[in-house]
Amino acid sequence: MGRFKTWIYREYTWGEIFFYVPICSVLLGVATILPVSMALLLSGVRLTEIVTPAMQAEPLWLLGLLLVRAPISEEFVFRLLPLGLARERTESLPILLFVAGASSIVFGYVHGGWANIPMQGTVGFGYALVFLKAGGIRGALIKPFVASIVAHAAWNFYVFMNLFWRW
């Protein structure tokens, strides 16, 4: 755990939060969604078939939901509350990682049941690592909260573009 511990304790700067975190978030998301995309492709289902008619009628409303409401509310519930409370009670890295994993499993489940845990749970764990690395591991709350929101919004924007961009 030596190299990981060194990495996690080196706190992100604000510049890294707004440059590297969105890039890494999308890369992590792509890595987790690739098997799902391949399964859809092989089964003949197009992503545009998954989008509901209501979503197609109001893509700007959906974009606002994906970039503002969802990241803020979900990062509050799944990162700020559990990790903030855990960090307030302990400085133990294994316990903080356990809390991050548990909240990520619930995050994945809430996004569509047991089948979504591998994809959404993995992405959620990435957001939890961003939260910890942005200062959450030292007990900070605002900067880590903003960092996890940025990561979440970047992934949601990527998903939105794949659902609505006509290639």
Is 6 part of any domain?
Answer: no
Residue 121, domain extent:
52-167
- Asked whether residue 14 is assigned to any structural domain, the reply reads no
Structural domain tally of the chain?
Answer: 1
Residue matched to tokens 């890039």: 23
pLDDT of residue 2: 82
User: What local confidence, expressed as pLDDT, does residue 36 receive?
Assistant: 63
CA distances from 94 to 25, 99, 123, 149 (A): 23, 9, 19, 23
**47 inside domain:** no
Give the Å distances, CA to CA, from 71 to 53, 81, 127.
Answer: 23, 14, 10
Within a domain: residue 92?
yes
pLDDT in tens, the chain (167 residues): 688 888 888 888 888 888 888 888 888 777 776 666 666 566 665 555 555 555 566 777 777 888 888 999 999 999 999 999 999 999 999 999 999 999 999 999 998 888 888 888 999 999 999 999 999 999 999 999 999 999 999 988 888 887 776 54
HSE of 58 in the Cβ direction (CA atoms, 13 Å)?
6
The pLDDT assigned to 46 comes to 57
Residues 6+ apart with CB under 8 A from 108: 116, 117, 118, 119, 120, 121, 122, 124
Element of type H or E holding 9 = helix 2-9
For residue 154, is it within any domain? yes
The CA-atom distances, in angstroms, between 117 and each of 32, 54, 69, 120 are 11, 26, 21, 5
pLDDT at 31: 74
Residue 104 lies in a domain: yes
The model's pTM:
0.83
Count of residues in the chain: 167
Residue 133 lies in a domain: yes
Domain-located, residue 11:
no
C-alpha dist (Å) from residue 129 to 21, 23, 35, 59, 116: 11, 15, 23, 30, 19
Q: Cα dist. 63→68, 117, 146, 159 in Å?
A: 8, 23, 19, 10
